[in-house]
Structure 1
Amino acid sequence: MQTNFSPAQLADPHMKESEQILRTCVHCGFCTATCPTYVLLGDELDSPRGRIYLIKDMLEGGKPATAEVVKHVDRCLSCLSCMTTCPSGVNYMHLVDHARAHIDKTYRRPASEAFLRTLMAKVLPNRRAFRWSMALARLGRPFAGLAARLPQGRRLAAMLALAPASLPPASSATRPGSFAPKAEKKGRVALLTGCAQAELAPGINEAAIRLLNRHGIEVVLPRGEGCCGALVHHMGKEDAALAYARANIDAWTAEMAKGLDAILITTSGCGTTIKDYGFMLRGDPAYADKAAAVSAIAKDISEYLETLPALPVTVETGQSVTYHAACSLQHGQQIKAAPKTLLKRAGFQVKEAAEAHLCCGSAGTYNMLQPEISERLRERKLGNIAATRPDIIAAGNIGCMTQLAQGTTTPIVHTVELLDWATGGPKPKGL
Structure 2
Amino acid sequence: MQTNLADFIRDTNEGKEADAILRSCVHCGFCTATCPTYQLLGDELDGPRGRIYLIKQVLEGKQATAATQSHLDRCLTCRNCESTCPSGVQYGRLVDIGRKVVEDQVPRPLGQRIVRTTLKTLLPNKWLFNPAMKAGQLVRPLLPQKLQNKVPPKQDAGQWPTRTHARKMLMLDGCVQPAMSPNINSSTARVLDALGIEMVVPPKAGCCGAIRYHLNDQDGGLADMRRNIDAWWPYVDGSAGFTVEAIVMNASGCGATVKEYGHLLQHDAAYAAKAHRISQLTRDISEILPDFEAELAGKLKGKIGKRVAYHPPCTLQHGQKIRGKVEQILGSAGVDVKLCADSHLCCGSAGTYSVLQPELSYRLRDNKLGNLQATQPDMIVSGNIGCLTHLQSGTDTPVRHWIELLDAALVGS
TM class by shorter chain equals: over 0.9
Q: Deviations over 1:353-384 (max 9, x none)?
A: 00001100000000000000001000000000
Match in the other structure for 2:386: 399
1:387, distance to aligned residue in structure 2 (A):
0.7
Q: Is the 8 A contact 1:180 1:219 kept in 2?
A: no
Match in the other structure for 2:299: 313
Are 2:246 and 1:262 equivalent residues in the alignment? Answer: yes
1:141, distance to aligned residue in structure 2 (A):
7.1
1:371 corresponds to which of 350, 353, 358: 358
1:115, distance to aligned residue in structure 2 (A):
0.9
Q: Out of 371-380 and 8-17, give the one that drifted further.
A: 8-17
Query: 1:173-184 maps to which residues of 2 (within 5 A)?
Result: 180-181=163-164
Give the secondary-structure state (helix, strand or coil) at the position aligned to 1:308.
helix
Give the secondary-structure state (helix, strand or coil) at the position aligned to 1:254.
helix
1: CA distance between counterparts of 2:4 and 2:152? Answer: 54
Match in the other structure for 1:214: 194
Match in the other structure for 1:294: 278
Structure 2 unpaired stretches of 5+: none
Tell me the percent identity: 47
1: CA distance between counterparts of 2:211 and 2:402? Answer: 23
Are 2:331 and 1:347 equivalent residues in the alignment? Answer: no
1:166, distance to aligned residue in structure 2 (A):
3.6
Residue identity matched to 1:133? A
Query: 1:29-428 maps to which residues of 2 (within 5 A)?
Result: 29-61=29-61, 63=62, 65-135=64-134, 137=136, 139=139, 142=142, 144=144, 158=146, 160-164=147-151, 166-168=153-155, 180-181=163-164, 185=165, 187-258=167-238, 259-309=243-293, 310-311=295-296, 312-314=298-300, 316-422=303-409, 424-425=410-411
Are 2:1 and 1:15 equivalent residues in the alignment? Answer: no
Q: Deviations over 1:60-101 (max 9, x none)?
A: 21x553101110000000100000000000000110111222
Residue identity matched to 2:10? L
Q: Provide the aligned C-alpha RMSD in A.
A: 2.0
Residue identity matched to 2:13? P
1:336, distance to aligned residue in structure 2 (A):
0.9
Q: Out of 111-120 and 94-103, give the one that drifted further.
A: 94-103
1:171, distance to aligned residue in structure 2 (A):
7.3
Q: Is the 8 A contact 1:269 1:329 kept in 2?
A: yes
Q: Out of 32-41 and 406-415, give the one that drifted further.
A: 406-415
1:143, distance to aligned residue in structure 2 (A):
6.3
1:288, distance to aligned residue in structure 2 (A):
0.5
Residue identity matched to 1:243? A
Tell me the TM-score normalised to structure 2 length.
0.93
Residue identity matched to 1:326? P
Q: Is the 8 A contact 2:140 2:151 kept in 1?
A: no
Q: Deviations over 1:191-216 (max 9, x none)?
A: 11011001111101111101111111
Aligned length: 405
Residue identity matched to 1:366? Y
Residue identity matched to 2:212? V
1: CA distance between counterparts of 2:187 and 2:255? Answer: 18
Q: 1:302–1:16: structure 2 CA closer, same or farther, 3 Å change rule?
A: same
Structure 1 unpaired stretches of 5+: 145-156
2: CA distance between counterparts of 1:213 and 1:401? Answer: 24
2: CA distance between counterparts of 1:140 and 1:167? Answer: 10
Residue identity matched to 2:101? H
Q: Deviations over 1:125-177 (max 9, x none)?
A: 11121123335545487564xxxxxxxxxxxx74x13232543368776xxxx
2: CA distance between counterparts of 1:141 and 1:235? Answer: 30
Match in the other structure for 1:149: none
Give the secondary-structure state (helix, strand or coil) at the position aligned to 1:188.
strand
Give the secondary-structure state (helix, strand or coil) at the position aligned to 2:108.
coil
Residue identity matched to 1:17? E
Give the secondary-structure state (helix, strand or coil) at the position aligned to 1:219.
strand
1:223, distance to aligned residue in structure 2 (A):
2.5
2: CA distance between counterparts of 1:130 and 1:261? Answer: 31
Q: Is the 8 A contact 2:133 2:179 kept in 1?
A: no
Give the secondary-structure state (helix, strand or coil) at the position aligned to 2:299.
coil
1: CA distance between counterparts of 2:282 and 2:363? Answer: 33
Q: 1:279–1:60: structure 2 CA closer, same or farther, 3 Å change rule?
A: same
